[in-house]
Structure 1
Amino acid sequence: MFKKLPFFNWNCKNVYKLLDKTNGELVELEAEMVKLQEQVNLFELTLPEFKPMNSARKEIRQIKQLWDYVFIFRSCIDEWKKTPWKKIDVEAMEMEYKKFAKEVRQMDKELKVRDVYVQLEAAIKNMMTSLRAVTELQNPAIRERHWKQLMQATKVRFVMDDSTTLSELLALNLHEYEDEVKNIVDKSVKEMAMEKILKELNATWVNMSFATEVHERTNLKLLVTSEELIETLEENQVALQNMMTSKFIDFFLDEVSDWQKKLSNADQVIQVFFEVQHKWCYLESIFIGSEDIRSQLPEDSKRFEKIDRDFREVLNEMLKDLNVIRATNKPRLYDKLDGILSQLILCEKALNDYSWIRRGWHSHDSILCLPQIC
C-alpha cells in the first residue's frame, strides 16, 4: 500500500502536503515502536525487526529528495520561461541542466524505476533537446517565412517578435521536432547564402555602366565595354545557374529567373551591339564618306543609309541610360540589332564582291584597315 501512495506518481498534486502527512503517520508508528521496544526490554525479550517501517522511512526520504529536484527543475524553467527568447543564454542554461542531470543520476538506483524519476529524467532530456533547437533558431538566417514553416510543422500558432518568450517557444514542443528544426534552419542558412549573392549581384549591376568614346569622323558618341564587365557577366550567369540547381531555390525562384533573363538579354545584346557598332564604324566612312562607292554601289549605299539611321536611333536610346541592365533590356532591342546586323552583312558582302571585281581597287583587307576607332 505504501508504494502506491500518490507522491510516487509524477502527476501528484500537493506533494509536500501528502509527504508531511505520511511522514507524520510514520513518526507516530516509529514512536509506538520505541515504546514497544522499551516494554520488550523489561522482559528481556527480542523484538522482531520492523523492516517495512525502515524501508518506508528510507523511501520517503528518497522520494522527498527527488521531489525537491523536481521543484528546483520546474522553478528554473518557470523563471527562464519569462525571458525573451533572443536574450536566452542557451549555453549557460545547458551547463546548468547538465550539472542538474548529473546530480539526479547519482541518486539511489532503487529510485530510478520510480515514475517520478523516469518522468524527471525525460523532462530534463526534452528540455536539453529543446534548448538545442532554440540555439538553432537563434541563427540570424531565420526569417519570418521559416517561423511560419515551423508553426505548420508543430501545428502551434504564435506571433514571433523580439518580445516572444522562451515559454512560447517551448509550447511548440521543440523536442518532438528536432529534425524539422534542423531542416528548417539548414534551409534558412542556404537561403541566406542565396540572398547574399542576389544582394551582391544587385549592387554590382546597379553601378555597372557602359563607358563612351567619340567617333572621330562623325563626332558620334559610341559605347565602350570592358573586360571586367564581360567577366562579371559570365561569372554572375554561372552563379545564377548554380542557384537554379539548388533544392532550396523555391523562395528565390522568381527573382533568380528574372536575373537570369536580364543577364541573358544583356549578354546577347552586348554581343550583337558591339558587332554592329564595329561593322558600322568601318563601313560608315566607305558607304557615306566615299562618293565613288556610293556611285558604284547605289543600292547598298541606300541600304547603309537606312542602317545608319537605325543604328543611330538605337545608339541614342542606349546613350540615354548607360546602366548596362537597363540599356540592354529594352523591348525588342535584340531583334532590332539583329536586323541591323543582317543588313550590315549584306553591305559588307557587296563591298567584298566589288573589291574583287575591280582589280584596281584596294582589297577588302585594305578597306578594313581604313582609319577607325571601333
Structure 2
Amino acid sequence: MQFQSTLMAAEQMIKKSKEKFKTSLLSDSEDFKRSVANLLAELQSTGPYSADLAPQVGLDSVARFRDQLNTLKARELELRHGLNLFKIEQPPCKEIAVIDKERNWEVIESSKARVDQFRRTMPLIMDLRNPAMRPRHWSQLKTEMSKQFDENSDDFTLERIVQLGFEQHAEVIHEISGAASKELAIEHTLNSMERLWQNCELDIITYKEKNTYKIRSTEEVFQALEDHQVQLSTIKASRFVKPFEVLVDRWERLLSLIMETLEQLLQVQRQYLYLETIFLGEDIRKQLPKESAAFDVVHTEWQSITTLLYDTRNTRACTTKPGLLENLNKLVSSLEDIQQSLDMYLETKRQIFPRFYFLANDDLLEILGQSKNPDAVMPHMKKCFDNIATLKIEKLNVVIHDALSMFSLDGEEVPFKTKVRLDGPVESWLCDVEEQMYKTLREMLRECRVALKKAAAKRDKFVKDWPGQLCITTSQIQWTSDVTRALQLEPDDCFVRQTNTCFQYGYEYLGNSGRLVITPLTDRCYITLTTALHLHRGGSPKGPAGTGKTETVKDLGKALGDYVIVVNCSEGLDYKSMGRMFAGLAQTGAWGCFDEFNRINIEVLSVVAQQILSILSALSIASQASNPMEKTRFMFDGRMLQLVWSCGIFITMNPGYAGRTELPDNLKSMFRPIAMVVPDSSMIAEITLFAEGFGSTKVKLFSIP
C-alpha cells in the first residue's frame, strides 16, 4: 500500500513537472519568436547595407548578426525537440529564413558595380600601357576625352583612371592605342632603314694605277634600294603615315638621289673603261687629238671622284656629296660627246671601206690602231672577206709592205696579178686589196676557161693548177648549153642567167669551200630567190630545222661569186646594229642572210622594215638608170650612202617554233616566201658518193637499221 502511495505521488509530481515544463517550453517559444522578430528588426534598421561603411566595420557587423542568427537557429532546434515530446507541432520560423537569405544590400550592388567597372577598366590598362603610345597620342586622348591628367605622374594610378571614367571612352582609347602600334611598326621600319644606310658601304677596289678605283659590285645596294622604295610606297599608302609624312618624303628623295647617283656612277664607269682602252693607243690619240684631250680631262675628274668614293666608302655619304651628281652628269655628257665623235670617226672609215660595217667597234678600233702593222690586221681579214684568212706579205723595209697573194682558210694560195702596197691608212689599202681580189679573179677566170679547154682530158692537173672556186665556175660555164652567148667578147665578163634573170658574177674570193648537192628542192629555191632579186625583193625560206634554208642561200651566193654574211638573230638585236649591217650590205654589194629573223622584237622590226624598204626602193630606182651596174647614192637613216646593185637581203624562219614574232604585213610584202621541206637524202648521198670517186654504176643505197 505504501508502495502504491509512493508511486501515485511520483506520478502526480511528474505530471506537475510536465505541465510546468510544457508551460516553460511554450513560454520560451514565444520568447524565441520575439527574439527573432527583434533580430530581424535590428538587421533591417542597423544592418551593414550602406556602401559608405568601411569594409571592416561591415564585415564585423555581418559576423555579429551571423552569430546571433546561429544562436537562434540552435535555440529553435532545442525548442522543436522539447515540443515534440509533448506532441506539439512547431513550424520552422519564417523570419530566420528571411534573415539567412537576406542579400539585397546596397553594399553588394555597389561592390558588384565597382567590380564590373574594374572589369571594364582592365583592357584599358593594356591599351594605356602600350609602349607605342607617344606624347602625341596622349594629347589626342585628352582632347577626345575632354579631360586633363598627367600620364607621367605618380598619381596616375588605377584609382585615378577609374575616377576619370576611362571605361566610358574604351573604344576611343583602343583605337588610339591600335594606331600607336601601327605607327610604331612604321617607326621601326624607318629606324631599320636608317641603321642599314649608316653601315652600307660601296664595294670599290683599286684599278690599275694609283689613285684610280673601280666599283666592283652594286647588286646588294640596288636590292636594298628597291626593297626600301617598295616599303616607303607601302607606308605612304597607309592611313597611319601622317606623323611620318615629312620623314618618309625625305627618305624618298634620299633614296632617289642615291639610286640616280649610283646609276650615273656606273654609266660613267662603263663608258670610261670602254674609252680608256681606246685612248691608250698612240695611233688613236694622234688621229683624234681633240677627243683625246677631252678624255684626259674626264680621266682626271674621274680619278678625283673615285678617290673620294674610296676614302668615304659609306654609300649614303658618298652619293649625297654636294655637287657630285652634277659633276657626274657633266662627265656623262662629255663621254657621250667623245663617243659620238668616235662613232663619226668610225663612220668615215666605214664609208671608205664599207666592209668595216660588218665589224664591231672594238675590232675596228683594234685594226685602226694597228694601221702601220699589216700583220696585226691579218686576224681580222676573215671578218671582212668571205674566205681570205691572211695575205702573203713581202716586207721591203720597216714601213713598206706589199701583199703578193691571198690564202683561204683551207690553205689555198691565189697570187695577185699586181702587188698591193700596204701603205697609208688601213682602210685605203684594204680597198686596194678588195679591188685587186676582184681583178685577179676576173683575169684568172678568163685564163682558167682557156686552160679548161686545153686540159679537157687532164682534169686532175687542171684542178691542182687553178683555184677551186674558179674551177667550179668555169666548169659550170662550160657545161651550160648557151655558153657561146654567155661568153661574148663584149663585155668581157661573166654573167649568171636563170629563167629571165641575169646577174654579173661577183668575184668575191671564196676559196675551195664545199658546195651543196643540187636537188629539185634546191633548184626551185634558186629560181625563187633569183626571181626575188630580179624584182628587187628579198627572199624568205621557211621550214623546219635541217631543211637547208641558210645553206641554200649561202650556196646560191657562192654560185654568183658574192659575199654572204649570216647573222643569227636574237631578241637582243636593236635597230642601230641592224642599220649598221644594212648600210654595210648596201655599200659592199654583199648578201645578208638573217637566220631566225622572227626572233627579233616587234618594236625593232617596225624600224627594220623602213630600213629594208629604203634599200629595196633604191635598188628599184637604180635598175631604171641608164647603167644599172654603176654605183648610185641614196639616203639611208639620215645619211647618203653608195649603193652596189648586187646587194641582197634574205631572211629564214622556222614557223614551227613557239614564241616567235609575227612579221608585220609591210615587212612580209618585201620578201618572197619559199617553203622548204626535208631534202631527198638518198639523192644527196648518191651524188656525194659519186663526187668522192665511186664507180659510175648505180650506187646501192640502203637504210641503216
Fold conserved between structures, TM > 0.5 = yes
Post-superposition CA distance 1:143-183 (Å, at most 9, x none)? 33323332333321214157743233334321121011101
Aligned-residue sequence identity (percent) comes to 25
AA in 2 matched with 1:307: V
User: Are 2:299 and 1:315 aligned?
Assistant: no
AA in 2 matched with 1:138: R
Partner of 2:191 in structure 1?
199
Partner of 1:178 in structure 2?
170
Partner of 2:361 in structure 1?
364
User: Are 2:185 and 1:188 aligned?
Assistant: no
Offset, 1:68: 8.7
SS at match of 2:132: coil
User: Are 2:207 and 1:215 aligned?
Assistant: yes
Distance 1:305 1:299 in 2: 10
SS at match of 1:64: coil
8 A contact 2:202–2:315 mirrored in 1: yes
Post-superposition CA distance 1:10-66 (Å, at most 9, x none)? xxxxxxxxxxxxxxxxxxxxxxxxxxxxxxx99xxxxxxxxx9999778558x7357
2:137 is aligned, of 124, 146, 150, to 146
Distance 1:266 1:71 in 2: 70
Post-superposition CA distance 1:194-243 (Å, at most 9, x none)? 12112211111111100222223666122233322211111011111211
Distance 1:250 1:356 in 2: 58
Residues 266-285 of structure 1 aligned to structure 2 (within 5 Å): 266-285=258-277
- Larger helix proportion of the pair: 1
8 A contact 2:198–2:314 mirrored in 1: yes
8 A contact 1:158–1:168 mirrored in 2: no
Partner of 1:290 in structure 2?
281
Distance 2:51 2:250 in 1: 62
User: Are 2:55 and 1:64 aligned?
Assistant: no
AA in 1 matched with 2:230: V
1:242 is aligned, of 221, 226, 234, to 234
Distance 2:342 2:196 in 1: 42
Q: How many residues align?
A: 291
Distance 2:158 2:313 in 1: 53
Distance 2:210 2:349 in 1: 28
Partner of 2:86 in structure 1?
none
Higher relative contact order (CA 8 A, sep 6+): 1
In structure 2, the CA distance between the partners of 1:301 and 1:201, relative to structure 1 (3 Å rule), is same
Offset, 1:266: 0.6
Post-superposition CA distance 1:294-335 (Å, at most 9, x none)? 222233223222222332233233333111111111223222
In structure 2, the CA distance between the partners of 1:163 and 1:297, relative to structure 1 (3 Å rule), is farther
When the two chains are superposed, the root-mean-square deviation of aligned CA atoms in Å is 3.9
8 A contact 1:133–1:182 mirrored in 2: yes
Partner of 1:158 in structure 2?
150
Distance 2:166 2:234 in 1: 33
Structure 2's unaligned 5+ residue stretches are 1-25, 28-36, 60-99, 368-705
8 A contact 2:271–2:335 mirrored in 1: yes
Partner of 1:127 in structure 2?
118
8 A contact 2:258–2:320 mirrored in 1: yes
Partner of 2:318 in structure 1?
327
Distance 2:366 2:121 in 1: 76
Partner of 2:329 in structure 1?
338
- Larger strand proportion of the pair: 2
Offset, 1:191: 1.4
In structure 2, the CA distance between the partners of 1:117 and 1:134, relative to structure 1 (3 Å rule), is same
SS at match of 1:358: helix
8 A contact 2:213–2:303 mirrored in 1: no
Structure 1's unaligned 5+ residue stretches are 1-40, 43-51, 76-106
Partner of 1:26 in structure 2?
none
Distance 1:262 1:162 in 2: 43
8 A contact 1:211–1:224 mirrored in 2: yes
User: Are 2:284 and 1:300 aligned?
Assistant: no
8 A contact 1:282–1:368 mirrored in 2: no
In structure 2, the CA distance between the partners of 1:162 and 1:277, relative to structure 1 (3 Å rule), is farther
TM-score after normalising by structure 1? 0.65
Distance 1:311 1:234 in 2: 27
8 A contact 2:204–2:213 mirrored in 1: yes
Which range moved further: 157-166 or 136-145? Answer: 157-166
Offset, 1:271: 0.8
Distance 2:126 2:266 in 1: 54
In structure 2, the CA distance between the partners of 1:198 and 1:123, relative to structure 1 (3 Å rule), is same
Distance 1:108 1:369 in 2: 114
Offset, 1:187: 1.2
Offset, 1:345: 1.5
Offset, 1:341: 0.9
